[in-house]
A and B are shown apart, each in its own frame.
Chain A
Amino acid sequence: MKILALYSIKGGVGKTAGAVNLAHCAWRDGLRTLVWDLDPQGAASFYFRIRAKVKGGGRKLIRGKRPLIDQIRGTDFEGLDLLPADFSYRHMDQDLEVTRRPVRQLTQLLQPLSDEYDLVLLDCAPSITLVSEAVFVAADALLVPTIPTTLSLRTLDRLAGHVAKKGRRRAELLPFFSMVDRRKKLHRRICDGDEARRGKLLEAVIPNATIVEQMGIRRAPVGVWAARSAAASSYRKLWREVRERVGL
């Protein structure tokens, strides 16, 4: 079982869109896939039409008082499941704090699922907190949607430094350009620039596309209702590249 996290310090960059669409691509490939919606706002749960609520609240779940498996729900795609968000996840830092080894806690919680799933995608809330620390330890790779601006590249460097800092087994960093608008000069310059060419970022690029925005109305991955769109095909390309990189 591989664990991949859609993660970024910044909000609104396409993490949730990435998690939902990549999960759908993985499911298409026949992988048994689980999305864990870690964001108290529950956007990923919403896209899968599942109520953002866990029975008994997030605290018991995070402390390991209730097995994750009991809270998992099937999506509309047989073999693609969701562990829903809960509003109480906004206290997840405190809930982790009281466990024996907070940064290992997510790893520990996910461990029993390793026979059930081939892939777990974590849709993280934006920020850098104890939860993110735990994600860095649990995940095999961090998929970081990056809008092509100078600032975001600098943030990426800082993140890389931070993730690499401590000696433990930590996630590999796999950033990719997100919401790219090739009409914008800056986007073009950065996407075609040195950083990108040095292989720091994945090759696949997710364009800025209204199709992706419309997911909020359709409440389904783009591959379902706009399979031929450029956006859907860019997610497929991203998926293939990620799959290759993490050896799935």
Chain B
Amino acid sequence: MIAFELRSQRQGRAVLTELKQRFSTARGQSDRHKRTCFDTFDWRLWKAGATLAGSRHGSEWELHFSRDDGGAEQQERTPAPPAFAWDLPLGRLRRDLESVVEMRRLLPLAELEHRSEELCLLDRREKTVARLRLEGWLVRGAEAKAAKRLPPRLVAVPVRGFERAFARLLRFLEEQGLERASRPVLGRAYELCGLQPGDYKAKVQSPLEPDLPAHLAMRRIHRQLLDTIRRNEEGVRQDLDSEFLHDFRVAVRRTRSALSQVRGVLPLERVTRFREEFSWLGGQTGALRDLDVYLLKLDDYRASLSEQAAAGLGALEDLLRRKQKSEHRRVARALGTKRYRRLLSEWESFLADEETPDTPPAGLTPIGEVARDRILQAHAKVIKKGRAIGPTTPDRKLHRLRIDCKKLRYLLEFFRDLYEPRQIGKVIDALKGLQDSLGDFNDLTVQQDAMEHFAEELTDSGAPSTALLALGQLIANLAGRHDEERRRFHEQFERFDRRKVRKRLSRLVESAAR
């Protein structure tokens, strides 16, 4: 399919008329429809080159899913507008959609109205060998009233196995002086609605120069983290999906980590108060995140159990949902407090105030040097603690190491922009392998504790014995994986503690610190 952008509908008509005179043609199908376009908050569909649109048909919704990389459009009928991929009936569309959007909510972003007429190019047998479609589009944003018009397009559509006819059609269109459209309709439509596809990333990457004074660099990084907190706030408040809170929490944790790890570059007294406040905020949201995680894991749990035991998970699910709801109410209340609002607004003005006289002298050190010192220090700690772990070391030491790894990871990410992208990418990947194994190991223990706790609660509330059977099996499964995960840790640590990785890291951090 190749699209050409037109100045006006009239121009398109003229081309169709000319085509009719030069080739044997027949009227094709004309089409009219109005569809709501969906995407996730972080633009997963857009980034994957996929489109999900739907419209109401009587009491049902008809969904259309397609991908730029070819393949025909898939359709599905659902009783309600889609909220999550897992709400759709089992099938290919759901599978394909779920692999892209996972647990994120599908948000209705814009309404696109389409109108088209079509001319078919025929061969001697009066068989259609190519199509030319004149398309007009109107778009309306989720909250907007007035629709906006996109420039009309002529779209040349090939028919498989008739490539020569298609080439002829393209030549004809180029002779008419038409220009190929540079961007897909959806992108233009979103922009007309004031949206910028792909504008949200959970990752921080502030542009940094090695000789930027450290306090300015840190302000920049913090401002970006604050922006992430702000942008996720509404989704958390409405509990749109689990990832708003996740990104919100990660940004808060990164903020705290940056405050405590890169000390001495910002005025100490004021920073101490902010650190306490952010620690309060992090504490407010921890329990809710845990519940979200268990709910997301329910499918895996179900799959790991015998059929009989899996049937007992219903009681656990009910319990989790109830708890999640009440925890969410608590979090939403916390976000409505004056304390929270004051924290963000004061933090924002503090970050903006770059001329403040109480900036300590260390704040003027070039960021490249500060980054080197902090990263090397955090790295040394990970190596030292990791090497001290043997087969009989208690589990809690591994949990501590996990935290140290996370700190190192955050530092590498804050300062990523200072370094050669491929090299820093490799270091982060090696660390990531180690973190994953530590994370999984930690999850096992945490989940096991939580499940034991839920089992007690369910017993007290007189839940059916099948529920306890399910939990019993779950706990046994989790416990059974303990040794295996520990082994994996040792493997991963060895990979991270190689000379090559250490060398690469020290070369990198030196490169930005003259």
Contact = CB atoms under 8 A, between A and B. Distances in A.
A129 B20 CA distance: 49
Contacts of B128: 74-76
A78 B155 CA distance: 14
B241 to A, nearest CB: 28
Given A49-B127, A50-B127, A74 B161 contact: yes
A34 to B, nearest CB: 10
Interface string A32-52: 100000000000000011110
A49 B125 contact: yes
Contact of B162 (A48, A71, A74, A78): A74
Nearest to B26: A76
Interface string B202-230: 00000000000000000000000000000
B75 A30 contact: yes
Given A72-B160, A72-B161, A73-B160, A79 B125 contact: no
B161 A79 contact: no
Contacts of B92: 118
Nearest to B129: A74
A195 interface: no
A76 B120 contact: yes
A30 B74 contact: yes
Contacts of B162: 73-74
B70 to A, nearest CB: 9
B184 interface: no
Contacts of B125: 49-51, 219
Secondary structure at chain B's binding surface: helix, strand, loop or mixed? loop
Interface residues of A, number: 19
A74 B72 contact: no
A157 interface: no
Nearest to B130: A74
B111 to A, nearest CB: 22
B157 interface: yes
Contacts of A76: 120, 127-128
Contacts of A48: 127
B71 interface: yes
B159 A73 contact: yes
A123 interface: no
Determine which residue in A49, A116, A118 has the highest number of CB atoms from chain B within 10 A of its CB, and name it: A49
A81 interface: yes
Interface in A116-155: 116, 118
Interface string B69-83: 001111100000000
Contacts of A81: 160
A49 B126 CA distance: 7
Given A49-B125, A49-B127, A74 B160 contact: yes
A76 B162 CA distance: 12
A30 B73 contact: yes
A168 B75 CA distance: 34
Interface of B: 71-75, 92, 120, 125-128, 131, 157-162
Given A32-B71, A74-B159, 5 more contacts: A30-B75, A49-B127, A50-B161, A72-B161, A219-B126
Interface of A: 30, 32, 48-51, 71-76, 78-79, 81, 115-116, 118, 219
10 shortest A-B CB distances, which residue pairs? Answer: A73-B161, A74-B159, A49-B127, A30-B75, A74-B160, A76-B128, A49-B125, A32-B72, A79-B72, A72-B160
25 contacts: A30-B73, A30-B74, A30-B75, A32-B71, A32-B72, A48-B127, A49-B126, A49-B127, A50-B127, A71-B161, A72-B160, A72-B161, A73-B162, A74-B158, A74-B159, A74-B160, A75-B128, A76-B120, A78-B72, A78-B157, A81-B160, A115-B71, A118-B92, A219-B125, A219-B126
